[in-house]
Amino acid sequence: MVYLIDRSVLSRAYFAREHVARHQLDSFNYFLTENLQKVVNEQKIIETDIENRGRNNDPVWVELGNIEVKKPLVREADGSQGELYPSEARLRNLTYAAPIQLGLTLVHGEDRQEPIVTTIGQLPIMVGSVACNLYGMSDEERVSHGEDAFDPGAYFIVNGTERVLMTLEDLASNKIMTEFTERYNERIYVAKVFSQFRGYRALVVVERNKKNLLEVSFPSVAGHLKFVDLMRALGMTNDQEVVNAVSTDEDILTFMMQNLEESECDSVEGGVMYVGKKLAPNQTKDYQKKRAEFVLDNYLLPHLNYALPTTLKEGDEGYDEAVASVRLAKAHFLGRMAEACFDLVLNKRRIDDKDHYSNKRLKLAGDLMEDLFRISLNRLTRDIKYQLERASMRHRDLSIATAVRADVLTERLLHPLATGNWVGGRTGVSQLLDRVDHMAVLSHLRRVISPLSRSQPHFEARDLHPTQWGRICPSETPEGPNCGLVKNFAQMVEISKGVNDEEEIMRILHSLNVEHIRGEVR
């Protein structure tokens, strides 16, 4: 059977306003509806160092509640407020932003004040998103408010200028990648993972040196740690557990025997002290132990910390068991990395192709705004803590309303959008929207940039990879140093988003008869 398709219908579908920038709008809408509250829940409370206040010297802290983003408003010189539309923001050089309201509760021991909903700052709003005043309007209504009916939106207006957030292309987080490196004319086999959790990204590397010994490096540790001793510190009590965490393959067992012979520790306590001596030499044993436990829990494979319940605190019942469980999971993950490293040595696997699109992830506008809001909220909470402590020192009544300075958050949100200098040291993330013609606008909204340096050759990264078929346009890329590093989406591309419900994934895995690493049944 043959179907005839009207080419004009297909063309309209290609360039429909709803399709062109849908990926950016969906991402920002998800940030507003889900991720904004998630970032607030991560912070949860603001602890203070206020002492000697009240009869019982009870601690003082602030609890964060629900967050809500209003519609964009403009405040006039006479104090009146009114709705702000994008066309007015452009003409009057205003920022198209909406007030953010957050519920805050001051707690003093057993005494809880009434929750206060206060404006903590202004959030720049993407034109066309659910928080935009144009959302849900017909074409005729948009025209009546000074907008082009064909304008796709998906950009911000900061001080009257239109700014678009570039889609960033980066290596996938929390995924084991293998590669070769050369050191002193010796080939070093490496397994590494970019572990990411709540905006923090840590590179963890397991490498096999020329003596077949495994070494591990991760942030805050100078040099390398012996693999077996680190596994001991994470809760592996005997050699059998360490070997089983890596592999039961006979060839790999030979390598593991050499590592076990070089081990300095034979207990969990000994492993923790081994790490502590590396981290804090010439310090007391108690300090070394605390420092080692802190670093292992926070800087080694932080993405596995999601399994630690946020409601548990140190000293609570069940806290030690939960921490031990997470450490054991980190040991098993390191075992997988060691196995990948040995498989590379034995030619049982090839090095991973970093340019394969399954090993890439895209950061859209919502993800970038989440990173920015997390840093900005941390700055605000530190300021609230400082204001409350200062009021306490001057023996004033503690008040949330006076402790919150809205301009602190607003400035931290607007400056990166206005300059393009994003958190994490990235530049050129926010760019001035190209308004040469309509096609230039569509192209700019669908642009993808790579974080690689423009001054280096990076031949393989610039090449057209077969897995880009149907995802990346093969011809639209600039000449010169940006060639192959600045790309554009294919016309009909659809971008999927990650899954946040770990429990649902666990249920699917168990339905496929995947067993838990510790034999537990959920």
Range of the domain at 159: 23-165+364-421
Specify whether 300 is located in the same domain as 409: no
Extract the tokens encoding 271: 């492993």
Specify whether 310 is located in the same domain as 372: no
State residue 312's pLDDT score.
67
**Is residue 339 situated within a structural domain?**
yes
State residue 307's pLDDT score.
73
Say which CATH number the domain at 335 has: 3.90.1110.10
Q: How far apart are the C-alpha atoms of 149 and 139, rounded to whole Å?
A: 5
DSSP 205: E
State residue 2's pLDDT score.
55
Domain boundary among 421, 437, 457: 421
Specify whether 287 is located in the same domain as 258: yes
Specify whether 43 is located in the same domain as 100: yes
Specify whether 215 is located in the same domain as 339: yes
Domain boundary among 309, 324, 359: 359
Specify whether 195 is located in the same domain as 153: no
**Is residue 451 situated within a structural domain?**
no
Q: pTM for this one?
A: 0.89
Specify whether 190 is located in the same domain as 313: yes
Specify whether 206 is located in the same domain as 346: yes
Scored b (16 or more CB within 10 A) or e, 276-300 reads bbbbbeeeeeeebbebbbebbeebb
State residue 494's pLDDT score.
84
**Is residue 454 situated within a structural domain?**
no
How many residues are present in the chain? 522
Say which CATH number the domain at 84 has: 3.90.1100.10
Q: How far apart are the C-alpha atoms of 55 and 35, rounded to whole Å?
A: 40
Specify whether 191 is located in the same domain as 339: yes
Domain count, the chain: 2
**How far is CA 53 from each of CA 57, 111, 112, 116, 457, rounded to the nearest angstrom?**
5, 12, 15, 22, 62
State residue 266's pLDDT score.
81
**How far is CA 401 from each of CA 116, 133, 392, 514, rounded to the nearest angstrom?**
8, 28, 15, 52
Specify whether 229 is located in the same domain as 284: yes
Specify whether 346 is located in the same domain as 370: no
Domain boundary among 379, 401, 421: 421
State residue 499's pLDDT score.
73
Specify whether 206 is located in the same domain as 352: yes
**Is residue 479 situated within a structural domain?**
no
Q: How far apart are the C-alpha atoms of 36 and 286, rounded to whole Å?
A: 39
**Is residue 299 situated within a structural domain?**
yes
Nearest to 374, CA basis, from 69, 39, 1: 39
Q: How far apart are the C-alpha atoms of 255 and 260, rounded to whole Å?
A: 9
For the chain of 522 residues, list the mean pLDDT of each consecutive stretch of 10: 62 70 93 93 86 66 93 90 94 96 88 89 95 92 91 94 95 92 85 90 91 90 91 90 89 88 87 91 91 92 82 73 90 94 91 93 94 94 92 86 90 94 90 93 94 89 93 93 93 80 82 72 36
